[in-house]
């Protein structure tokens, strides 16, 4: 599983990354997590606001921090 956290390093971006890491750990999923901070690369995902969560190339969340439980629901689609 490939996961990307889109954001420039703001507190919301860091919170989304932390929630994602915790969700992965609780589900026992091993995934590659990449932080995408380059604004030009973020724009390639066609999101208006960060943070963003991309799972296997598909934007799942944009413009908000979602809870660990919400991320777990998203990730379970790919298990």
What's the maximum distance between 2 C-alpha atoms anywhere in the chain? 33
Measured CA to CA, the distance from residue 63 to residue 44 in angstroms comes to 15
Contact 50, 10 (CB under 8 A): yes
- What CATH number should be reported for the domain holding residue 52? 3.40.30.10
Complete DSSP assignment for 34-46: EEE--HHHHHTTT
Q: How many domains is the chain built from?
A: 1
> Given strand 52-55, what is the order of strands in its sheet?
32-36, 2-6, 52-55, 58-62
Catalytic annotation, residues = 10, 13
pLDDT in tens, 16-49: 999 999 999 999 999 999 999 999 999 999 999 9
Structural domain boundaries, residue 26: 2-76
Measured CA to CA, the distance from residue 69 to residue 73 in angstroms comes to 6
pLDDT in tens, 10-23: 999 999 999 999 99
Quote the pTM value: 0.94
């Amino acid at each position: 599983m490939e996961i990307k956290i889109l954001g420039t390093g703001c507190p919301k971006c860091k919170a989304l990354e932390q929630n994602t890491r915790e969700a992965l750990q609780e589900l026992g999923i091993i995934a590659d997590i990449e932080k995408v901070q380059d604004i030009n690369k973020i724009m390639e995902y066609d999101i208006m606001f960060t943070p963003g969560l991309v799972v296997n190339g598909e934007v799942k969340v944009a413009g908000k921090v979602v809870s660990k439980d919400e991320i777990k629901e998203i990730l379970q689609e790919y298990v």
